[in-house]
Amino acid sequence: MAKYGFIGSGLMGNPMAMNLIKAGHQLTVYNRDAAKCKNLVEAGATQVSTPLEVVAAADVTYCMVSDPEAAMAVCFSPHGVIQGVGSGKGYVDMSTVDPQTAEKIGISIQARGGEYLEAPVSGTVQPARDGQLVIMAAGDESLMKRAQAGFDAMGKKTVFLGEIGAASSMKLTVNMMMGSMITALSEGLTLAEASGLKGEDLLDILAAGALACPMFQGKGSAMLANNFTANFPLKHLQKDLRLAVQLGDHHRVPLANAAVSNEVAKRACQIGLENDDMCAIVQALRPPQA
Domain 169-284: CATH architecture, name and number where available? Orthogonal Bundle (1.10)
The per-residue b/e assignment along 179-189, b for 16 or more CB within 10 angstroms, e otherwise, is bbbbbebbebb
- What is the secondary structure of 254-279 as a DSSP string? --HHHHHHHHHHHHHIIIIITTSBGG
Contact 54, 7 (CB under 8 A): yes
pLDDT at 290: 47
H-assigned helices in the chain: 13-22, 38-42, 51-57, 68-76, 99-111, 125-130, 141-154, 166-194, 199-208, 214-224, 234-251, 256-268
**CA–CA gap between residue 173 and residue 168 (Å, rounded):** 8
Alpha-carbon distance values, 82 to 60, 100, 114, 229, 233 (Å): 13, 17, 9, 36, 29
Question: Treating both helix axes as pointing N-terminal to C-terminal, what angle do 234-251 and 256-268 enclose, rounded to 10 degrees?
Answer: 150
Q: Residue type for 264, please?
A: V
Q: Is 44 helix (H, G, I), strand (E, B) or coil?
A: coil
Q: Return all residues near 122 (Cβ < 8 A) that are at least 6 apart.
A: 133, 134, 136, 171, 174
CA gap 288, 290 in Å, rounded: 6
Which of the residues in the chain have pLDDT under 70?
1, 290
**pLDDT value for 288:** 81
Residues 6+ apart with CB under 8 A from 225: none
Confidence at residue 163, expressed as pLDDT on a 0 to 100 scale: 97
Per domain, the residue ranges of the chain are 3-163, 169-284
Instruction: Name the residue among 134, 149, 143 with its Cα closest to residue 164.
Output: 143
Q: Is 89 a catalytic residue?
A: no
Residue type, 28: T
- β-pair partners for 3: 26
Strand 133-139 to 115-118 pairing: antiparallel
The active-site residue out of 89, 171, 219, 239 is 171
Question: Would you say 79 and 52 are in contact if contact means Cβ atoms under 8 Å apart?
Answer: yes
Q: How many CA atoms lie within 13 A of 99 on its CB side?
A: 21
CA–CA distance, 17 with 58 (Å, rounded to integer): 14
Return the CATH class of domain 3-163: alpha beta
